[in-house]
Amino acid sequence: MQPITDIIPLLPDPRSIVIVMHQKPDADAMGSSLGLYHILTGLGHEVRVISPTNWAEWLSWMPGAEGVIDYELNMVMSNGILEKADWIFCLDFNVLHRTRKMAEPIEKAPGKRILIDHHQQPQKEVFTYGISDTSKSSASEMVFDFIESASIGHRINQTVAQCLFAGVMTDTGSFRFSSATSSVHRMVAFLKDTGFDHTKVYENLFDNFLENRLRFIGHALLNRMEVFYEYNTALISIPWKDLVKYQIRTGDTEGLVNYPLCIQGIKFAALIIDRDEEIKCSFR
């Protein structure tokens, strides 16, 4: 995998580009993808954003989200777009199988794959260019760094700023995790100087749920959480029947794993969700 900076001299030449994120995208996956989408579109590239699956309704406010393609609903069209792409940006995932049914089409596509990710053990052999940095807070921070390294930071407007801010803010736990380094705060200051309303972003992300989600969280904390003080650990285990009972939608369990961390002495939290067709595990 060659350094991502090697593509910077190639940016002025218009290309057909696809941006892909991981399945069931969170705010960082969607925010980094859309932030990069607006930058590349502004440079004259033809850009399409494809999500391997559906996404949470509370992400649909992001500028450009209305144009994101749901791969599972549009496989034939999406595969055609992938086959014609010169570049395929892969954001916020380290291995292709995190794109679910898209993994094989992405691997077979003739275009060059470009990685921007902050997770451990990247599948470097399948990417032509890229950067993998576990010290970074989020893919959104890494997209910002890429924009800066290309000397096109002046192209970051309020639209781009909203997307990148949403990603870095959520992945740092509203800036309380250790990943919220000084460089993250400098990034946010830069974004704020565009004049976007960060309060509105918070409201869109955190004050945009249905009543059943709040009742589900209460049920999960009361009946599905176990605390192991001897190990400074808490575990929340959600059976499939709970998801059905409370009509849980994509994105409704986002952030649930963080709740036990507010308990004094708890240093490690785990969330296990039975999604019927798969088991999802989250750790903090």
Q: Specify the 3-state DSSP secondary structure of 52.
A: coil
pLDDT score at 83: 97
- Tokens read off for 4: 């991502």
pLDDT of residue 110: 97
Q: Report, as ranges of residue numbers, the positions in the chain whose pLDDT lies below 50.
A: none
Give residue 264's pLDDT.
96
Helix (H) / strand (E) element for 14: namely none
Which amino acid, residue 208?
A: N
Rounded to two decimals, the pTM is: 0.90
Q: Which pLDDT score, from 0 to 100, does residue 277 have?
A: 80
Question: CA distances (Å), 136 to each of 22, 179, 182, 234, 281, in order?
Answer: 17, 7, 11, 26, 22
Which pair of tokens denotes residue 3?
Answer: 């350094």
Q: Tell me the two tokens of residue 117.
A: 């990710």
- What's the distance, CA 205 to chain centroid? 13
C-alpha 230/C-alpha 110 separation (Å) is 52
